[in-house]
């Protein structure tokens, strides 16, 4: 079987990252962007709604301007011995990128680049399905203090067909969890559920028949929030780190 040579590009400036900051920076300066993770900024939306966010608008704009040279399915990325950026996609396509300046926002899926990410805390979203008592026409948001859970919001449910009025709700929580605690049971979705049940009891939030709401955890998304780069002595002088 014939082995295909790698694709090769040459850019003056290249941006590496997946967060909104990387997308906005590439868009503002007209630089090519390599999206090096399948992670995306979290946005809750109901199926019939258009997704409106700076991230998606920026990605669309960069694509229209031919500033997304590599598909999103990046498996590994790093600097080779010749100082070129070597990218391997999940389809095993190999891409070599010559550059004068590399702007790094995120090191997801990266090999050695002369720097490491040190994450301080995570922004964590937990979605809970309301399996009994979901019909709640009025919106409701609860702000919490002295808790790692910062916000509880009743959001329109995606589980109910044609929920165009948004009266059927599920629950979305937003938490801030230190990196050292992210895998601890004390900060798990189970603990969040117990906290919700206690808060609902205190606030007398119940079903119309007076019974307690019944909720089940659906999914969790953890996104790095505060982080810094730890650099090595031999970091390439063409690299600029953006925290």
Q: Which residues pair with 76 in a beta bridge?
A: 88
Domain membership of residue 2 (yes or no) is: no
**Looking at residue 47, what is its pLDDT?**
63
CATH number of the domain that residue 203 is part of? 3.30.70
Q: Name the residue range of residue 25's domain.
A: 7-119+227-241
**Looking at residue 110, what is its pLDDT?**
93
Is there a single domain that holds both residue 25 and residue 98? Answer: yes
Domain membership of residue 1 (yes or no) is: no
**Those residues with Cβ within 8 angstroms of residue 211's Cβ, 6 or more apart along the chain or in another chain:** 132, 133
**Looking at residue 3, what is its pLDDT?**
63
Domain membership of residue 101 (yes or no) is: yes
Number of structural domains (the chain) is: 2
Q: Enter the tokens of residue 240.
A: 């600029």
Is there a single domain that holds both residue 52 and residue 126? Answer: no
Is there a single domain that holds both residue 141 and residue 204? Answer: yes
What's the pLDDT tens digit per position in 114-146? 899 999 999 999 999 999 999 988 889 999 999
**Looking at residue 182, what is its pLDDT?**
97
Is there a single domain that holds both residue 101 and residue 51? Answer: yes
The radius of gyration of the chain from alpha carbons, rounded to an integer in Å, stands at 22
Whole-angstrom distance, CA of residue 161 vs CA of residue 149: 30
Domain membership of residue 74 (yes or no) is: yes
Domain membership of residue 197 (yes or no) is: yes
Whole-angstrom distance, CA of residue 125 vs CA of residue 152: 10
Is there a single domain that holds both residue 46 and residue 164? Answer: no
Is there a single domain that holds both residue 232 and residue 115? Answer: yes
Q: What residues of the chain score a pLDDT lower than 70?
A: 1-4, 47-52
H-state helical runs in 6-99: 20-29, 54-64
Is there a single domain that holds both residue 135 and residue 64? Answer: no
Is there a single domain that holds both residue 74 and residue 155? Answer: no
**Those residues with Cβ within 8 angstroms of residue 136's Cβ, 6 or more apart along the chain or in another chain:** 154, 167, 168, 169
């Amino acid at each position: 079987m014939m082995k295909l040579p790698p694709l090769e590009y040459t850019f003056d400036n290249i941006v590496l990252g997946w967060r909104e900051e990387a997308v906005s920076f590439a868009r503002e300066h007209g630089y090519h962007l390599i999206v090096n993770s399948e992670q995306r900024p979290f946005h809750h939306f109901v199926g019939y709604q258009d997704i409106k966010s700076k991230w998606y608008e920026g990605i669309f704009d960069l694509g229209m301007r031919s500033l997304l040279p590599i598909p999103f399915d990046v498996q590994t990325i790093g600097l080779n011995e010749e100082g070129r950026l070597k990218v391997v996609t999940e389809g095993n396509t190999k891409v070599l990128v010559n550059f004068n300046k590399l702007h790094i926002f995120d090191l997801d899926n990266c090999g050695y680049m002369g720097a490491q990410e040190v994450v301080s805390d995570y922004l964590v979203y937990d979605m809970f399905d309301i399996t009994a008592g979901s019909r709640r026409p009025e919106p409701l948001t609860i702000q919490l203090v002295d808790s790692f859970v910062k916000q509880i919001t009743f959001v329109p449910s995606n589980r109910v067909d044609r929920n165009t009025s948004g009266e059927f709700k599920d629950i979305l929580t937003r938490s801030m969890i230190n990196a050292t605690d992210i895998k601890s049971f004390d900060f798990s979705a189970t603990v969040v559920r117990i906290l919700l049940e206690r808060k609902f009891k205190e606030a007398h939030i119940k079903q119309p028949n007076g019974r307690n709401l019944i909720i089940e955890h659906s999914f969790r998304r953890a996104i790095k929030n505060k982080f810094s780069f730890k650099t090595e002595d031999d970091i390439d002088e063409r690299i600029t780190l953006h925290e």
